[in-house]
Each structure stands twice: as structure tokens, then as C-alpha cells.
Amino acid sequence: QLQLQESGPGLVKPSQSLSLTCSVSGGSINNNTYYWSWIRQHPGKGLEWIGYIHHSGSTYYNPSLKSRVMISVDTSKNQFFLKLTSVTAADTAVYYCARDLGGYTPFNWGQGTRVTVSS
């Protein structure tokens, strides 16, 4: 059964970079059918799509975050990563990783990891 697990620092200082890892088990990142997404949810708010990556390296990002976001993949470790630079308090959120069917549908989700931006 597919499982996704987010990991990374729960606290990041303003102006620094936020880096998260999503470890995938029970399925291969190399499957051509899927993209691998990052999605976040601000406290008490709705969902915001951040972007996704295909194992081939193709990436697509939310235009509002594109200048600060990089998503990468390590197929040998079956992991993918999120880096968000120059963070502010507005980046405080629960960050989810997900397996995305065809680049159209976040199908399977991790449990999420809470990240707080504060000095």
C-alpha cells in the first residue's frame, strides 16, 4: 500500500529557506503515470497547490510561488523534495506531499507536517 511521509524542520526563521522531504513507500517514483505534488494549508484556511514534479524532472509551479519554489526528486531514494526560499510568517502552514494522477489529481496524500516561520 502506498505511503507518503513528510519530514523536515518544524520551525524556520524568517528570510531563511524551508526544506522538506517526502519519502514514498509501497510504490515507485519512477512510474510514468504519476506526478509528485506539494500542497499546503495555512492555519484554519483552505488548500494551496504549490507544484509538482515528474520523475523525468519536469516541474510545474503555482505562479504565485514560482520565484521562491524548487521541487526536486531523488529516484534512487524514492524521495522528492520541496525548497521554499525567503520565507515569511505567511509561509506558516501544514505542508502535504501527494501522489498526483497524471498531473491532474492529487490522489494519495501524506499526513502532513506543520511548519512555523518565526524568529
Q: Which residues bind another protein (CB under 8 A)?
A: 37, 39, 46-49, 51-52, 60-64, 96, 100-101, 103-112
Distant-in-sequence, close-in-space partners of 12: CB < 8 Å, separation ≥ 6: 18, 87, 91, 115, 116, 117
Residue 6 beta carbon to another protein: minimum distance, rounded to whole angstroms: 10
Among residues 3 and 86, whose Cβ is nearest to another protein? Answer: 3
Among residues 10 and 63, whose Cβ is nearest to another protein? Answer: 63
Cα gap 96→102, rounded to integer Å: 18
Residue 62 beta carbon to another protein: minimum distance, rounded to whole angstroms: 6
Among residues 67 and 104, whose Cβ is nearest to another protein? Answer: 104
Cα gap 3→85, rounded to integer Å: 27
Q: Which residues pair with 39 in a beta bridge?
A: 49, 96
Cα gap 68→6, rounded to integer Å: 20
Residue 107 beta carbon to another protein: minimum distance, rounded to whole angstroms: 6
